[in-house]
Amino acid sequence: MVAALLVLTACGSATSQASSAHSSSASSRATSARLESPTPATLQPSSPYSSPSFCFGTSPGLPAPRYEAALAYMPNLAQAVLFGGSDVHGDELGDTWTWDTGTWTKRQPPASPAPRREAAVAYDSARKVVILFGLYTTNSGFGSDTWTWNGTTWTRVVENPLIHVYGQSAAFDENTQRVLLLTMNVPGPGDSETWTWDGSGWRAVTPKTSPPGRTDASMAFDRVSRKVILFGGYGNDGKARNDTWAWDGNNWTLLSPSLSPSPRARAAMTSFAAKNQILLVGGEATSVLSDAWIWNGNTWSQAPSPGVRDGASAVDVGNRVLVFGGNSASLSGACPGGTLAETWDGTTWTST
């Protein structure tokens, strides 16, 4: 079967309300007691957050347009699960949806996490549950609760609290059979912290070498090198980074690829199993980005792009990759009022 990449991105008409809501949200976040990363509040006027080309839309039977949502795939159920994110007004969402071979279904679980965005999420294949960690909300700031999704309901896990962390990234490490979490200890020196999930709690890891502190980085497991790959994020100096790191189960190693994407944070990144690659799409720095890149186990190479994507969510669904949501400024002349769908066959993007 030909591998394909399905992209669902928000499309519609912009409003000053969406722009002002996002600006207000970013402003309130900057006053948090914890160190704040450079969010869209620092973007240039050309960004979609303040541009008339910032567009969202809705379609019947689909999740509302959103960015910074949690998305994971459960191969045991052949389903992807989507939770939360921020809507067009900058408000946090708390809904749960599942995706099954192109069909979205809104779920009504008996228990659910509070609305949030910027949560770290990964499928724990050893325990066959999705792990959801952390949150950001405009009203309460950052949090560090942990939940599991078993395909039917969410369950709050009682664990040792991680009280001085935020800006988390997660991926499942197939070597150690544990979910890997990278966070930044704030308030504090802003260093990175490495944690692993053993099924009952988070365990701190003290590698000899660690990446510099950062938030909103991208992580995915590389099936070629058999290591977790970390890329970019906002450093604790407030600048976007473009360094590539590898986790071997015990230590982090800074890699020196011959080519790298430009500095960025909040890029969508996931394994592409059918191609033995990692795919990275979009993100933001001083403006939102529209490029796409592939990691082949040794270096990065640029790939055709679906257009501007910032804060989108990506997940490997077996024979293709699903990318959902995010902010897009590239659709200003092509917003039919519905959700745009595109496929990636490893060579070209095709609208569907």
Residue closest to 121 by CA, chosen among 87, 76, 163, 154:
154
Q: For residue 320, what pLDDT is reported?
A: 83
Cα–Cα distance measured from residue 159 to residue 204, given in angstroms and rounded to the nearest whole number: 12
Average of per-residue pLDDT values in the chain: 79
pLDDT tens per residue across span 18-69: 333 333 333 333 333 223 333 332 222 223 333 323 344 456 688 888 889 9
Local confidence band at 161 (pLDDT 50, 70, 90 cut-offs) = low
Task: Judge contact between 192 and 211, C-beta under 8 A.
Answer: yes
pLDDT (average), residues 307-322: 86
The burial of 261, by beta-carbon neighbours within 10 Å (0-12 exposed, 13-18 middle, 19 or more buried), is given as buried
Structural domains of the chain in order of their starting residue, each with its CATH number: 4-351 (2.120.10.80)
pLDDT tens per residue across span 270-307: 998 888 999 999 999 988 999 999 999 999 999 988 78
Cα–Cα distance measured from residue 272 to residue 223, given in angstroms and rounded to the nearest whole number: 9
Residue 202: count of CB within 10 angstroms of its CB: 24
Local confidence band at 171 (pLDDT 50, 70, 90 cut-offs) = very high
Q: For residue 342, what pLDDT is reported?
A: 63
User: Rounded to an integer, what is the distance from CA 350 to the centroid of its chain?
Assistant: 23
Q: For residue 336, what pLDDT is reported?
A: 30
Q: Which residue has the higher pLDDT, 11 or 221?
A: 221
Rounded to two decimals, the pTM is: 0.83
Phi/psi for 70 (5° steps) reads: -95, 130
Q: For residue 324, what pLDDT is reported?
A: 86
Residue 138 has pLDDT above 60, yes or no: yes
Omega within 30 of 0 (cis) for the link into 187: yes
Cα–Cα distance measured from residue 246 to residue 228, given in angstroms and rounded to the nearest whole number: 6
Residue 144 has pLDDT above 80, yes or no: yes
Q: Provide the token pair at 87.
A: 């809507």
pLDDT tens per residue across span 251-270: 999 999 999 999 999 999 99
pLDDT tens per residue across span 73-103: 999 999 999 999 988 788 899 999 999 887 8
Q: Which residue has the higher pLDDT, 137 or 48?
A: 137
